[in-house]
Amino acid sequence: MYEIDPSVVVEDGATIEPFAVIKGRSVLKKGCVVGSFSYVEDSVIGKNTVVRSSRICGSTVGDNCTVGPDAHLRNNARVGDGCRIGNFVEIKNSTLESGVKAAHLSYIGDATVGANTNVGCGVIFVNYDGKEKHRTTVGKNCFIGCNSNLVAPLTMGDDCFVACGTTVNKDVESGSFLIGRSYLTVKENRAHKYLTKSRE
């Protein structure tokens, strides 16, 4: 029903659901739940943290977190207490401080994210320039809007607000509001011309 290596440490009160795989030097702390179809290898899962059908390798998750479904933490991802890591979020070689939320469809690579920052749906930490990996640092209490790109190397201060669809490619001071997207053009009563062509 499940696979657990002899080297794994499971504290009292931890729950391992059917079809979970726990390998290597993993530690499951008191009250945590590793849900069905999860894979945990050489990782620490904190107290009362719930992992749902996710893959966690060589990483640490703090206490009172939720991970998944279908999240992927790897290569020394370090998630602080009280974080929410949602579906199809990948975290690689990054530190998330306490209270960070990344609920949907994001990539956080080679980054440090400050406490209580919200990472919106579709946010990408752009860490690779084709030759080298670079790091991004985001401060505390920031809001990163949906479909934004943070292009490393980059440092963002505390209490910043990034509007959805913005590409950030330079350092910004604390308290900054950032918006950078094309101006919306609306052509009224024109859609029928394109809809007709697409149906031919």
Strand stretches in 140-196, DSSP E: 143-144, 149-151, 154-156, 161-162, 167-168, 177-178
Q: Tell me the C-alpha distance between 107 and 88, whole Å.
A: 9
Q: Sign of the CA dihedral 79, 84, 87, 89?
A: negative
Cα-Cα-Cα-Cα dihedral of 146, 149, 155, 157, to 10°? Answer: -20
Give the DSSP H or E segment for 193: helix 191-198
Q: Tell me the C-alpha distance between 199 and 10, whole Å.
A: 59
Q: Tell me the C-alpha distance between 102 and 107, whole Å.
A: 9
Q: Which of the following is catalytic: 72, 104, 134, 192?
A: 104
Q: What is the pLDDT along the chain (200 residues), one digit of tens a residue?
A: 889 999 999 999 999 999 999 999 999 999 999 999 999 999 999 999 999 999 999 999 999 999 999 999 999 999 999 999 999 999 999 999 999 999 999 999 999 999 999 999 999 999 999 999 999 999 999 999 999 999 999 999 999 999 999 999 999 999 999 999 888 889 999 888 888 654 55
Q: Tell me the C-alpha distance between 38 and 196, whole Å.
A: 48
Report yes or no: 116 and 100 within 8 Å, Cβ to Cβ: yes
- Single pTM value for the model: 0.93
Q: Name residue 193's amino acid.
A: K
134 carries an active-site annotation: no
Question: What local confidence, expressed as pLDDT, does residue 31 receive?
Answer: 98
Question: What structural domains does the chain harbor?
Answer: 3-198 (2.160.10.10)
Minimal CA–CA distance to 95: which of 135, 67, 66, 46? Answer: 135
Backbone angles phi, psi at 12, to 5 degrees: -55, 135
Q: For residue 82, how many C-alpha atoms fall within 13 Å in the half-sphere facing its CB?
A: 9
